[in-house]
Amino acid sequence: MKQGTPGYILFIDSGMGGLSILDYFLQMHNDVNIIYYADTANFPYGTKTSEQIAGYLQKIYDGLKREYSIPLIVLACNTASVTALTRLREMVDVPVVGTVPPVKPAASITKNGKIGIIATETTVQNDYIDMLIKEFAHDKEISIQASSALVEASERRLSGDDLDRVLESELSCFKDIGIDTLVFGCTHYFFLYDQIVRFFNDAVNVVDSRDGVARRTASLMDISTRSSTPDSILFISSSDQDTVTLYEKFNRDTGMFKSILTGDYSCQSE
């Protein structure tokens, strides 16, 4: 890479979820070059193994770094972070920020000690979540629920009765237990924040990871990524038309990206 080449912060998720983190980050820093890689060809990550996810991440980074200078990676995905963060850090030569289910802040705000954690199947089965609970919430009553239906509902922008049915089937168990705090252990769920808060009649605090990840990212970004005319590129690894249309609509609504590139970029460049 030539001296003076602009650097990009690379955000990665299986789909839409990490856009919630990116959006929060851009509200704090709007003078940064960014690439967001939505690995929709391999969506959902929540049913994949650690090996598979580590393989996807490595290929994405290897493919992109041939074209772009990437001094920092943000895994804007809890599933990828709990399964493959350590491995990715060993495989790449730049810092990687992970997204960890916010169990610690949840433990500090619960009043009745009843906390719900909702995450993907892969995250729920991972030892990392047990470690977080042991370390930060061992004296709390914890209920954990895996929900791929909510991931799908977020990615597909479900609404109305269809969404109500999913909320009912995925979250009723927490209502029955009487939790007062819910941990979003998956970045996708943030897109359903308002609907989920309403489902609990505003009686539950919902805790997500956006602030922690955005601040950590800001503390690690280097000067090469800063620009008065920042670039922003969205990669979508699946070129299936419905998927592309969904993301194009997102970009029309938010204006987050200057350009959108589709197809499995990481493979094409091999």
CB of 91 to ligand DGL, least distance (A): 20
Query: Dihedral angle at the C-alpha atoms of 260, 265, 266, 269, nearest 10 degrees?
Result: -130
Nearer to ligand DGL (CB atom), residue 137 or residue 151: 151
Q: How crowded is residue 224: how many other Cβ atoms within 10 Å of its Cβ? A: 18
**Cα(178)–Cα(176) distance, rounded to whole angstroms?**
5
Question: What is the DSSP secondary-structure string of 196-249?
Answer: HHHHTTT-SEEE-SHHHHHHHHHHH--GGGB-SS--EEEEES---HHHHHHHHH
Q: Determine, following the binding rule CB under 6 A, whether residue 210 of this chain makes contact with ligand DGL.
A: no
Q: Determine, following the binding rule CB under 6 A, whether residue 13 of this chain makes contact with ligand DGL.
A: yes
**Cα(81)–Cα(54) distance, rounded to whole angstroms?**
10
Q: Determine, following the binding rule CB under 6 A, whether residue 237 of this chain makes contact with ligand DGL.
A: no
Q: Determine, following the binding rule CB under 6 A, whether residue 46 of this chain makes contact with ligand DGL.
A: yes
Read off the amino acid at residue 130. Answer: D
Among 7, 17, 102, 116, binds ligand DGL (CB under 6 A): 17
Segment 172 to 191, residues that bind ligand DGL, using CB under 6 A: 186-188
Region of 50-58, 74-82, 191-199, 233-241 interacting with ligand DGL (CB under 6 A): 74-82
Q: Determine, following the binding rule CB under 6 A, whether residue 120 of this chain makes contact with ligand DGL.
A: yes
Applying CB under 6 A, the residues found at the interface with ligand DGL are: 13-15, 17, 43-46, 77-79, 120, 123, 151, 186-188
